[in-house]
Amino acid sequence: MTAGKVYSLETFGLVDGPGVRFVIFLQGCRMRCQYCHNPDTWKLSGGTAWEARELFCRAWQYRSYWRNNGGITVSGGEPLLQMEFVTELFRLAREKGVHTALDTAGQPFSREESFPEPFRRLLEVTDLVLLDLKAMDSGLHRQLTGWDNAPSLDLARYLSDQGMPLWIRHVLVPGLTDSREELEQLEAFVGELPTVERVEILPYHTLGVGKWAELGIPYPLAGVRPPTEEEAEAAQRYLSAAVRPAQGRIEACPARHAGAEAKRKPAWKFQGRLHCFFRKTML
């Protein structure tokens, strides 16, 4: 029996993979993202212990929601810190034909020593990877997360080389991750990854500020506002300009404001293999 530390569960997730998802947020994360919505997930010592089979049985109760394209998503925290648990959970899901998605920031991915073989076993039972790319500039990435972005970028290349379907995510923070250089580098990088199916720009929000206060941690982005609709549209233009015709056709719909009061629905719709849209998310 394989046990894991779980932070929380969401039984009707709509924004963490295709269809309706049973979303499992794991405990533990090495990154210290300045806009983290749940800083109480950082310590691996917290959370609730679940056996993999017990948790899958809990998820299986909601299978009527999944229909043909839903399934189970494991997020964080950082799920790669609990690979054995996630692998066992996804193996149980695979036996039942359930779609599995892994939401990761790529830390602590490595091609050295003991990491590749357990990770290969995890990928064998994973249908989709949602990869969070915090920043393309390494210095900015260290500023935002406390870590270099080399493992995340290397993971993206590795997954693409393995033929793994990818959704790329990037949080748009005014004055930090919304520069033209950042977005153009992101699109250039995505263009090198043939298995990318979607790029999600996630507008920064301040819904997690209260948790920082409860934990007695100074919020490092105090005073930083969510992006305006105009800024979101500008970011979309940068992204759209780099989309290759073979990757998909883009159709823009009227954008909704991406602030804290926005509903959790996409503001842009796209057709084709590569999709880029804005939505508010729970980070």
| Tokens, residue 281 | 């998310």
- For residue 283, being part of any structural domain is answered with no
Pairing of strands 71-75, 128-132: unpaired
Question: Which helix (DSSP H) or strand (DSSP E) does residue 71 occupy?
Answer: strand 71-75
Residue range of the domain that includes 37:
3-278
- For residue 63, being part of any structural domain is answered with yes
- For residue 75, being part of any structural domain is answered with yes
Q: Which pLDDT value is given to residue 198?
A: 85
Whether residue 281 is predicted with pLDDT greater than 80 in this model: the reply is no
Q: Total structural domains in the chain?
A: 1
Amino acid at 27: Q
- For residue 41, being part of any structural domain is answered with yes
- For residue 189, being part of any structural domain is answered with yes
Q: What is the mean pLDDT of the chain?
A: 84
- What separation in angstroms does the CA of 116 have from each of 121, 123, 190, 242? 9, 10, 23, 32
Q: Which residues contact 156 (CB under 8 A, 6 or more apart)?
A: 106, 131, 133, 166, 168, 189, 193
Whether residue 260 is predicted with pLDDT greater than 90 in this model: the reply is no
Q: Which of 195, 181, 186, 203 is nearest to 239 (CA)?
A: 186
Q: Which pLDDT value is given to residue 241?
A: 53
In the structure, what pLDDT confidence band is assigned to residue 276 with cuts at 50, 70 and 90?
Answer: very low
- For residue 13, being part of any structural domain is answered with yes
- Return the number of other C-beta atoms located less than 10 Å from residue 229's C-beta: 17
Which CATH number characterizes residue 248's domain?
A: 3.20.20.70
| Tokens, residue 239 | 């992204």
- For residue 18, being part of any structural domain is answered with yes
